[in-house]
């Protein structure tokens, strides 16, 4: 399994993982198979997105804030009551977005659209160093 680390700025920071993923898939030598990009953290997520500032810096953060607010009238997180670490909303967001993307590998390359990138979404309020895991299977 391959691993690499990225530094994030805290919520909501969307980072493009595609260059690292591509480099390591190619280096794996697998020509036809499947790649799994995974984070072993419960307050961040992996998905795909057209990586451009409008979506990454405004639209995805706005949707997360609207759907899973950190604060709000009558809104209280059970996680907060017990742990007081200010990230109950981050855990819920991560469970909805999910910790991984699985994509095909073909002709030795990860299959992605021209305007489709593999992204990490930092959901924790604080800047973090995150380990991204990449596992490739096939032949």
Q: What are the tokens at 26?
A: 């190619």
The CB-of-136 to its own copies minimum distance in angstroms stands at: 9
State phi, psi for 114 to the nearest 5 degrees: -60, -40
Q: Quick one: which of 100, 108, 125, 126 contacts its own copies (CB under 8 A)?
A: 100
Q: Which of 10, 29, 50, 127 binds its own copies (CB under 8 A)?
A: 50
Pick one of 5, 53, 73, 129: the residue that binds its own copies (CB under 8 A).
Answer: 53
Looking at the Cβ atoms of 62 and 127, the one nearer to its own copies is 62
Peptide bond connecting 12 to the previous residue in cis, omega within 30 degrees of 0: yes
| Position 86 contacts its own copies (CB under 8 A) | no
- At 99, give phi and psi (nearest 5°): -90, 0
CB of 105: closest distance to its own copies in angstroms?
Answer: 7
Q: Any residues with CB less than 8 A from the CB of 57 and at least 6 apart, and which?
A: 14
Q: Segment 6-35, which members bind its own copies (CB under 8 A)? A: 32-34
Residue 126 engages its own copies in binding (rule: CB under 8 A): no
Q: Which of residues 59-78 bind its own copies (CB under 8 A)?
A: 59-60, 63, 67-68, 77-78
State which residue, 7 or 52, has the beta carbon closest to its own copies.
52
Task: State the DSSP string of 95-123.
Answer: HHH-SEEEEEEETTEE---TT-EEEEEE-
| Contact assessment for residue 74 and residue 80, using Cβ atoms and an 8 Å cutoff | no
């Amino acid at each position: 399994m391959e691993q690499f680390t990225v530094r994030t700025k805290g919520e909501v920071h969307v980072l493009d993982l595609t260059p690292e993923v591509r480099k390591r898939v190619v280096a794996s030598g697998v020509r036809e198979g499947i790649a799994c990009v995974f984070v072993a953290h419960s307050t961040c997520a992996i998905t795909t997105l057209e990586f451009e500032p409008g979506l990454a810096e405004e639209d995805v953060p706005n949707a997360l804030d609207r759907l899973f607010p950190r604060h709000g009238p009558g809104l209280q997180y059970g996680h907060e009551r017990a742990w007081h670490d200010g990230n109950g909303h981050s855990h819920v967001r991560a469970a909805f977005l999910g910790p991984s993307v699985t994509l095909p590998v073909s002709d030795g390359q990860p299959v992605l659209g021209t305007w489709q990138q593999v992204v990490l979404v930092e959901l924790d309020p604080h800047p973090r160093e995150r380990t991204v895991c990449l596992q490739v299977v096939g032949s």
